[in-house]
A and B are shown apart, each in its own frame.
Chain A
Amino acid sequence: MIALGLPPEASTIAPRVDLLLYVVTAVTGIVAVAIFATMIFFGIRYRAGSRAPRAKDIPALQARARRRVETAWTLIPLALFIASFTWAARLYIVRGTPPANAIELFVVAKQWMWKLQHPGGQREIDEMHIPRGQPIKLVMTSQDVIHSFFVPAFRLKQDVLPGRYTEMWFTATKTGRFHLFCAEYCGTDHARMGGDVIVMEPAEFARWMNAHRGGEDMATRGADLFRHYGCSGCHGANASVHAPNLAGLFGKPVPLSNGTTVVADERYVRDSILLPEREVAAGYAPIMPSFAGQISEDDIIDLIAYIKSLADTKERPK
C-alpha cells in the first residue's frame, strides 16, 4: 500500500473533517490558481519589450484601481476566513464534547509505550481493541513527558500530559486495524511509540473482552487499593477521623474551603490524592497526607474507577 493522500475514514468525525478539508483545499486552490494565472498574464503582457499599452500616469491609474479593488480583496478573504473558522470551530467543539453514553478507557503513556485499561480490567499495551459504533472516551495521562495520541484514520489526536488528564472521544465506523502514533516528540524511541487500533464488530469485541478478562474489573481493583493505601482508614465507614464521604461524590459539585466550587471529576480526585492541600472540601481540616511519589498512575486510575462506582450510593465505603 502506498499512502498518497488521506488515510481511511474510520470514525464518525473523519468524513466531516475530510469534507472541510476538501472544501478548504478547493477554495484555496482556486484562489491560488487565480493569483498565479494573473501573475503569469501580467508577467507576459507587461514584459519589457511588449507592445501592450501602458498608462501615462501610473500613480493615478493605481489610485483609481485601488478604490475599486482594495476593499474587495480585503473583505472577500475575510469573509472566506470567517466561514472556514466557524465551520472548523464547530467541528472542534464536537470533538471536545463527548456524549454521555461513551464508554471510558484509560490510557497511561510512558516512554515509549501506550498502556490501556478497559473498565472491565482488561489491559493492553500498544493496542486498543474497541467495538464499532460505540462512543468511546479516552481518559489519558502520562507517567513522564508529553506524548500525543494520534489515530490518523480517526482524524484525531490529543496530547497526553503528565500531571493531568486529557480526554479524546470518537465512535469508530469501520472495522480493521489502524495506525496509532505518538505525535509529540518524547525522546529516543519516539518513532517506535506506536501501535494499532483494532476496531471489531460488537459481537466479536464482546468475545475478545471475555477472552481477555484477566482479573478483577477496575472498580473492584480500586476497592482493594482503597484499603491497601489506607484510604478507608479515614474515608471508610468505621473511620474516627472527620473526612469527606466519597460515596455519591463523583460528578457532583464540591464546595471548597476557599468559597469556590468544583465538580468532582477525574482531575479533582487525582489532585486530591496527590495535592490534597490544593482544594480542601469546605468544613474539613487539611489533614490528608499527599500520596505523590507513592502511587502509580495505574493505581490512581483504578481508585478513580472505584470512587466513580460509588457515585450512586450514599453508604460510606467499608
Chain B
Amino acid sequence: MSTAIDGIGARIPGSRDARRADAPSSYLTDGLSIGSWLGTHDHKRIAILYAITITAFFFIGGAAATLIRLELATPAGDLVKAETYNKLFTMHGVIMVWFFLIPSIPATLGNFLVPLMIGARDLAFPRLNLTSFYLYAGGATFTVAAMIAGGVDTGWTFYAPFSTLFSNTHVLYVLAGVFVVGFSSILTGLNIIVTVHKMRAPGMTWFRLPLFVWAQYATSAILVLATPVLAMTLLLLTVERVFGIGIFDPALGGDPLLFQHLFWFYSHPAVYIMVLPAMGLVSELVANGARNPVFGYKTMAFAIIAIAVIGFLVWGHHMFVSGQSMYAGIVFSFMSFLVAVPSAIKVFNWTATLWHGRIVYTAPMLYALGFVGLFTIGGMTGLFLAALALDVHLTDTYFVIAHFHYIMVGGTVSAYLGGIHFWWPKITGRMYSDRWARFAAVLLFVGFNFTFFPQYLLGIAGMPRRYHEYPPEFQTLNVLSSAGAVVLALGYLLPLLYLGWSLFRGARAPANPWHATGLEWQTTSPPPTHNFASTPVVTGPPYAYVPMRDVVDAREGTQ
C-alpha cells in the first residue's frame, strides 16, 4: 500500500506553488497528455473520468426515458412497437441503476472528496481505483452496445423464468456486462473502507468525520456485502439459460421465487447505495448553507449506519404479492417500517439544522433543500408500500415508479447535482453563474414534481407499470407526466451549458468560496496532486460554523 502512495508522491512537482489558485501544479495541470489522464492513479482524475462517463450514460438512459414518455402520451402503442418499448424501459433501468446511480456519488464525488475530507493523499489503493474505473467503463460500454445493437427485453429485474427460458434477446451479454461492473463496485467499496480506516489525518477521529464520509463508509460496506450476491445471482441465471440446469424455472425443477429473494437481497440494499451518499452530501450542503453545525451530528451518523444495517433485512417487501408466505410478508413489512425511523430522523435533523442559522440560498443549498423535499415525499410514499394491504393494490403500478423515482432521481440526482455545484470550484478551479444554477435547481424541482407526482395518482387509479399501451381513462395523467418531463429535461440539460461555459470563461475560484469548514477547503482550488502541502492536523469537530460571527455572504465568490 505504501509503495503505491509513494509512487504518487514521487510524481508531484513544485509543491511550493500549490498555495496559489492558478498554480500550474494543480492536479489538472500535472500532466496534460491523454495518457496522463487515462493511466492516472490520482483519485481526483479518476473521479473526473467517472464523472464524464456516468454523464454520458445518464443522457443515454435519459434518451430512452424520453422515448418512453413520448410513447405514453397516447393510450395506443403508436410510436414504437411493443418489443421496442420493452427494450427501451429495460435499457433505461439497466443504465440508470448500474451505470449511473450506483456509481454516481460514490465513484465521482466520493472518489474525489473522501481522501481530501480525511486529509489523505489518495485512496488506499490508487491502482485498484483505476482498475475499478476500467472494469466499470468496459462492462458498461459493452452492455450498452449490446442493448443498442440488439436490445434486451427482460426489464432491469431479469425475473426468471422469463429471462432464462423465454426471452430471446441479448440477455447473456447484459448479464455479463453487469457482472463485470459489479466488480468495480466491490473494489471501490473496499478501497474506501480501507482508506477511511487507515488514512485519516492526525486528529481526524471517527466522530470528527464529515457525515459524507460516514455515508460513503456505510455505502461501501453495502457494496462489498451485497454486490457478490448479485454476481452470484447473475451467474445462476446464466447457468440456467446456457446449460438448462434448473435453478429458477420450475419446468426444470427450479424455484422462481428463489431468484426474487436473491435479486432483491442485492437490489434493495442497492437503493441505499444510491441514497446514503446523497444523504451525506446533503448534510454538508445544508450545514454550509445554514452556516450552522449539523443538528445531532452523532444521531445522523448512527442513522446512516442503522439504515445500512436494517436495509439488509427488508428485501421481501418487493414480494408481498409474489406468492411468498404471508408470515414472511408480515416480518418484512415490519422491518420496512423500522428502516423508515432513521430516515425520518434525518429529515427532522436537516430541518432543525436551519434553526438559528444564517441561511444563504446558493445553488447548492437550493439543490439540497430540493433533496429534502423530494426525499420526504418519496420516503412517505414508501410507507404506503411497506403497509401490506396497501402494497397489494399499489405494487407493480405507477405508484411504485413514482415512489422510487422520488428517492433515486428526485433525491439522489438533486443531491448529486448539488454536490457537483458545491465542489465545482474545488474540482475545476472555476466559478459558474450562481444565478443560472439557482434557476436550474428550481427548474429541476418543478419539472420533477410535474413529471412524477401524476404517476402516484396513476398508480392509485390502477395503471400497471411496464405497459406499452393503456386504457384511455389514464391519458390525462400520462400527458401531464410527459409534459413535465420536458421541463425536467431542461433542468438536466441547463447545467451542461453554464458549467461547460464556466470551464473556459468562469472566474478563478478561491480556495474556499463558500467559507466552508472541512479539510478539502483548506487546500487550493483545484488541489495539487498530493492534495495538501503538509499533512493537516484536525483539532475540532466538523461543521464548526458560527452564524453569529459569520456574516460573510457566501455568494460573493461568484461575483
Contact = CB atoms under 8 A, between A and B. Distances in A.
Interface of A: 1-7, 13, 16-17, 20-21, 24-25, 28, 31-32, 35-36, 38-39, 42-43, 46-48, 54-56, 58-59, 61-62, 65-66, 69-70, 73-74, 77-78, 81-82, 84-85, 87-89, 91-93, 95-96, 111, 144-146, 148, 150, 152-153, 155-159, 161-164, 166, 179, 181-192, 275, 292
B397 A183 contact: yes
B62 interface: no
A148 B354 contact: no
A181 to B, nearest CB: 5
Contacts of A20: 387, 389-390
B161 A145 contact: yes
B340 interface: yes
B256 A163 contact: yes
A32 B469 contact: no
**A48, A56, A78, A144 — most chain B CB neighbours (10 Å):** A48
B295 interface: yes
Interface of B: 77, 82-83, 86, 153, 155, 157, 159, 161-162, 166-167, 249-251, 253, 255-257, 290-293, 295-296, 299, 320-323, 326, 329-330, 333-334, 337-338, 340-341, 344-345, 347-348, 351-352, 354-361, 369, 372-373, 376-377, 380-381, 383-384, 386-393, 395-397, 457-458, 460-471, 473-477, 545-548, 551, 553
A13 B372 CA distance: 35
12 contacts: A3-B474, A13-B389, A28-B380, A36-B376, A54-B358, A73-B348, A81-B341, A88-B390, A148-B321, A162-B256, A182-B464, A183-B395
B358 A48 contact: yes
A47 B289 CA distance: 10
B386 to A, nearest CB: 7
Contacts of A187: 86, 153, 162, 166-167
Contacts of A163: 249-251, 255-256
Nearest to B396: A183
Contacts of A46: 290, 354-359, 547
A258 B256 CA distance: 26
Contacts of A181: 462, 464
Given A3-B473, A39-B351, A39-B354, A161 B256 contact: yes
B376 to A, nearest CB: 6
Contacts of B470: 191
A24 B460 contact: no
Contacts of B338: 81
B254 to A, nearest CB: 8
A265 B192 CA distance: 53
Contacts of A93: 326, 330
Contacts of A54: 356-358, 547-548
A95 B235 CA distance: 36
B395 A157 contact: yes
A-B CB proximity, top 9 nearest: A163-B250, A152-B462, A91-B389, A88-B387, A92-B388, A42-B354, A3-B461, A81-B337, A191-B467
Given A32-B380, A42-B351, A58-B356, A183 B326 contact: no
Contact of B473 (A2, A39, A81, A153): A2
Contacts of A24: 383-384, 387, 390
Nearest to A77: B344
B396 A189 contact: no
Contacts of A161: 250, 256-257, 322-323
Given A28-B380, A146-B256, A92 B464 contact: no
**B296, B320, B323, B386 — most chain A CB neighbours (10 Å):** B323
A88 B389 contact: yes
**A31, A62, A150 — most chain B CB neighbours (10 Å):** A62
B460 A5 contact: yes
B393 A157 contact: yes
Contacts of B352: 62, 65, 69
A81 B383 contact: yes
Nearest to A1: B473
A216 B547 CA distance: 84
A119 to B, nearest CB: 23
A295 B486 CA distance: 53
A83 to B, nearest CB: 10
Nearest to A52: B356
Given A28-B381, A59-B293, A190-B466, 10 more contacts: A3-B476, A21-B384, A31-B380, A32-B376, A32-B380, A62-B296, A66-B299, A73-B348, A96-B326, A146-B161
A163 to B, nearest CB: 2
Contacts of B462: 3, 7, 150, 152-153, 179, 181
A179 B86 contact: no
B293 A85 contact: no
Contact of B340 (A56, A81, A162, A166): A81
A92 B388 CA distance: 6
A43 B359 CA distance: 7
Contact of A7 (B256, B359, B461): B461
Contacts of A89: 330, 333-334, 388-389
A267 B458 CA distance: 36
A244 to B, nearest CB: 23
Contacts of A47: 358-361
Nearest to B295: A62
Nearest to A141: B250
Contacts of B321: 148, 157-159
Contacts of A185: 86, 155, 157, 159, 162, 465-466
Given A54-B358, A157-B392, A191 B323 contact: no
A185 B468 CA distance: 11
B469 A191 contact: yes
**B155, B361, B384 — most chain A CB neighbours (10 Å):** B384
Contact of B396 (A78, A150, A153): A150
A85 B153 contact: no
B323 A92 contact: no
A148 B361 CA distance: 48
Contacts of B257: 161
Nearest to A192: B469
A157 B322 CA distance: 9
A59 B356 CA distance: 11
**A21, A164, A183 — most chain B CB neighbours (10 Å):** A183
Given A24-B387, A162-B251, A183-B464, A43 B392 contact: no
Contacts of B334: 85, 89
Contact of A92 (B157, B330, B356, B376): B330
B172 to A, nearest CB: 17
A90 B355 CA distance: 41
Nearest to B259: A146
